[in-house]
Amino acid sequence: MKLAIIGGSLFKHINSLSNASEEIIKTPFGLPSDNFTSGYIDGLDVVYFNRHGASHHIAPHQINYRANMFALKLLEVTHIIAITAVGGITEKMSPMKWVLPDQLIDYTHGRIHTFNDGNDEEVQHVDFSYPFDEMLSNKLASAIETQGGDYETKATYGVTQGPRLETIAEIKRMQHDGCDIVGMTAMPEAAFARELEMHYATLSLVVNWAAGKGGVDGSTADLISMVEIKQHISDGNRMTEKILNNVLTQLKQDVSVRL
Ligand code: HPA
């Protein structure tokens, strides 16, 4: 097993890698967003990578997801935990809740989203009924519980184009569609992971109420505060590494049981 951790707006650095080394990986699909940091945590092979680049300059719609995910495959990654900051749509998805989504709806457009593109090979369709890996999600849930965090499972992640946030009407429509949270990066990342046969789960932190959902009295919605988002991201960062370390301990136990 080799685990990749994809950081984003949330989780920009990993501290606990030992024997860490950085690599630039070139792919036939162009350059990935960032260098890949490989090392060990608790004896397990781990790669850290940031989808927005080292200085967080690549917007969600500009990320070369195809190169990023192909590079992880070249590094022989088998499992991926993708960290994302999201907005909360439904009632339980309040700021500072951790969410382990089990479904998604893709509202993005114009992003390269498949390897079945412009080549002469026969088109391969993949099953995507369950876009997120249940084993990893369960381990993340148990890790959050151990850390005393508040979390929700069984949630649908609506993926929007960004980088602007949504209108109130867009969020109403998404809620009507069945979305519980909204973010900008789970797609096409999850689809590439599936095409490349890597197990993929998302660890999301709600950092704001989605547009129109933040009204204290239930009638007038507050505007979304970027200051509040930054504060929640910074609060969430501290716990993210603890959650990941706990997941790695669980994964290590599984690996040693199997040996
Ligand atoms: N919408 C889309 N993406 C987000 C949000 C949001 O409200 N908050 C954090 N990422």
Mean pLDDT, consecutive 10-residue segments, the chain of 259 residues?
A: 94 82 94 95 92 91 97 97 97 97 98 87 91 98 96 98 96 98 98 98 97 71 88 93 94 75
pTM: 0.95
Cβ neighbors of 53 (< 8 A, separation 6 or more) are: 33, 34
**Atom nearest to 208 CA in ligand 1:** 8
Instruction: For strands 79-88 and 2-7, give the pairing.
Output: parallel
Task: Determine the residue type at 171.
Answer: I
| 3-class DSSP assignment, residue 66 | helix
The CATH superfamily assigned to 2-82+98-103+126-152+185-205+224-258 is Nucleoside phosphorylase domain (3.40.50.1580)
Do the beta carbons of residue 137 and residue 151 sit within 8 Å? no
CB atoms within 10 A of CB 59: 12
Query: Using a 6 Å cutoff on CB, does residue 244 contact ligand 1?
Result: no
Query: Using a 6 Å cutoff on CB, does residue 86 contact ligand 1?
Result: yes
Q: What is the pLDDT of residue 12?
A: 84
Q: What is the pLDDT of residue 124?
A: 86
Q: What is the pLDDT of residue 54?
A: 84
Given CA atoms 180, 185, 188, 191 in this order, what sign does their dihedral have? negative
Q: Which residue has the tokens 């096409």?
A: 188
Query: Using a 6 Å cutoff on CB, does residue 88 contact ligand 1?
Result: no
Do the beta carbons of residue 27 and residue 65 sit within 8 Å? no
Pairwise CA distance, residues 229 & 151, whole Å: 18
Q: What is the pLDDT of residue 120?
A: 76
Q: Which residue has the tokens 């004896």?
A: 43
Query: Using a 6 Å cutoff on CB, does residue 34 contact ligand 1?
Result: no
Do the beta carbons of residue 12 and residue 37 sit within 8 Å? no
Name which residue sits closest to atom 10 of ligand 1, judged by CA.
86
Cα-to-centroid distance, 159 and ligand 1 (Å): 9
